[in-house]
Amino acid sequence: MVPRTCIVLLFLLCSFSSLATAFLNLTLPGQHPNPEEVVQEVHRKVNASLARRQMLQGTIKYQDSSCLTGNPIDDCWKCDPNWPNNRQSLADCAIGFGQYALGGKGGEYYIVTDSSDDDAVNPRPGTLRYAVIQTEPLWIVFPGNMLIKLSQELIFNSYKTLDGRGANVHIVGGGCITLQFISNVIIHNVHIHHCYPSGDANVRSSPTHYGYRTKSDGDGISIFGSKDIWIDHCSLSHCKDGLIDAVMGSTGITISNNYFSHHNEVMLLGHSDDYLPDTGMQVTIAFNHFGEELVQRMPRCRRGYIHVVNNDFTQWEMYAIGGSGNPTINSQGNRYTAPSNPNAKEVTKRVETAEGKWKDWNWRSEGDILVNGAFFVASGKGVEFNYEKAYSVEPKSAVLIDQLIMHAGALGVGGRDNNLGKWSSGSNGDGNGLGSGPDYTDDMSGSSSRNNPLPLSSTSILFSFFISLSSLLFLYIIPDMHFTMRK
């Protein structure tokens, strides 16, 4: 007869095995069950926009139109001549994994009339901070040019759209933008730069709650445990940490039509190699221009499925795309222009990982143009089978990159003349929106020290499991207790 203690022990071991198996097969809320279908749909939309442009080329309608760029996102809303009065149709134009981001669609319009940010706990009505903490959906607009100097992190609530079309909007200072344990946010047509660490202070995150924030990293946009996020037509530069970081089980993200410049660690996707929920991270990076004076991380991936399609990588100093923790990287129709440094020609970098471990990682390049000696090191067994569905819709050649990314970044700036409509018919400010103060420099950004998480020991599997399970509870069950958590 089996002793009762053995029976109990066997039951516990079986229970733990079942829990561990379920956890390892974890599906995040918002994770698409078949990422290749999303890849196919992106290509279909690009092909349709380019075909429409080609069909109308040479006609009177084409000559009179500024909307037929072949970029499916821009053509979706700019081809509506009445778009300034139908702004919320933008929410129907996203592509890729972030296509379900509603933003403030269906909500009221909120007009930012006050550029100040003096009180992070009791923001005044009319300020941007007052808008983003509200619980109801809001479509946030700007009647004129505006420079917003943040005193602390700008913590968003769910269902918000930041729509800077028709104005020259700059967000700088402490924080800057934090999307933490929320969903359905659209950030469109704003400049985000010179962001530096803030914190050690109380900050409000909703009309009924504020809490103590520890020191932030100084990211331009920090996405933490959030889903259904779309960042489009923004210009990002000069931040102390990342320009965009997405970690801790974030998924359903599209980063499109942005202009990145003057930065070291551009984009981080994934918390750590050992954080299993990030296996469900799905990110589309499309039609962006990675411009001057960038060093690395365009992006740097840990786990997840990352679709990098039709971007222009002007140069880099170390590498363009890096990763660890076995992420899937699907690079299609991009243009990679290597720097002159003969030791930095490789597009890819497996970070702190031996070749014996990364040779089976699923990293693929299709239809990319490699310029000035650039080369992409692909890897993975059985990749052809895994990507068969993706290949069934051919990505457009990178020779069309100039056309697809011609308006990357904040619209209406420099050569990006897009006949932007103003929010109102009144004056659009003094013409520059930046006041009479000095231009921003790196010295104005303060100082920061990056907090890198310690990797988990290979002997700490049980501990890692319970920690990750606890993190999921925080992510999706008790989001109000997030104020002391940091990546």
DSSP summary character for residue 438? P
354 vs 103: which has the higher pLDDT: 103
Q: Three-state SS across 149-170? A: EECCCEECCCCEEEECCCCCEE
For the ranges 280-289, 297-306, 330-339, 375-384, the lowest mean pLDDT is seen at 375-384
**Model confidence at 444: pLDDT above 60:** no
DSSP summary character for residue 411? T
**Model confidence at 134: pLDDT above 90:** yes
For the ranges 63-77, 131-145, 301-315, the lowest mean pLDDT is seen at 63-77
CA distances from 463 to 248, 270, 276, 456, 460 (A): 17, 20, 13, 9, 5
How much is the mean pLDDT over the chain? Answer: 79
285 vs 484: which has the higher pLDDT: 285
29 vs 98: which has the higher pLDDT: 98
- Tell me which of 297, 350, 364, 486 is the catalytic residue: 297
What integer is the mean pLDDT of 50-67? 63
For the ranges 28-32, 130-134, 195-199, the lowest mean pLDDT is seen at 28-32
**Model confidence at 447: pLDDT above 60:** no
Predicted confidence at residue 413, as pLDDT, reads 53
Predicted confidence at residue 68, as pLDDT, reads 75
Query: Is residue 71 helix, strand or coil?
Result: coil
Q: How many CB atoms lie within 10 A of CB 486?
A: 18
Residue 363: burial class (beta carbons within 10 Å; 0-12, 13-18, 19+): buried
Cα–Cα distance between 428 and 406 in angstroms, integer? 25
Contact, 349 vs 321, CB < 8 A?
A: yes
Provide the residue type at 406 as one letter: M
Based on the residue annotation, tell me whether 4 is a catalytic residue of this protein: no
**Model confidence at 452: pLDDT above 60:** no
pLDDT tens sequence across 247-261: 988 999 999 999 999
Pairing type for strands 201-206 and 209-213 reads antiparallel
pLDDT tens sequence across 222-235: 999 999 999 999 99
Predicted confidence at residue 418, as pLDDT, reads 37
Cα–Cα distance between 213 and 229 in angstroms, integer? 23
Domain boundaries, the chain: 95-405
Q: Three-state SS across 261-298? A: ECEEECEEECCCCCCHHHHHCEEEEECCEECCCEEECC
CA distances from 100 to 38, 94, 199, 264, 354 (A): 12, 8, 32, 31, 37
Contact, 168 vs 432, CB < 8 A?
A: yes
Predicted confidence at residue 77, as pLDDT, reads 93
Which is it for the CA torsion 430, 433, 435, 439, positive or negative? negative
Q: Three-state SS across 343-359? A: CCCECEEECCCCHHHHC
Please give the sequence-ordered ranges of beta strands (E in DSSP) within 54-145, or none if there are none. Answer: 108-111, 138-141
Topology given in CATH for the domain delimited by 95-405:
Pectate Lyase C-like (2.160.20)
Provide the residue type at 21 as one letter: T
pTM of the full structure = 0.80
**Share above pLDDT 90 across residues of the chain, in percent, rounded to a whole number:** 56
Q: Confidence class of residue 94 from pLDDT cuts 50, 70 and 90?
A: very high
Determine the length of the chain.
487
424 vs 254: which has the higher pLDDT: 254
Question: If phi over 0 gives left and psi between -120 and 50 gives alpha, with beta otherwise, what is residue 126?
Answer: left
Q: Confidence class of residue 460 from pLDDT cuts 50, 70 and 90?
A: very low
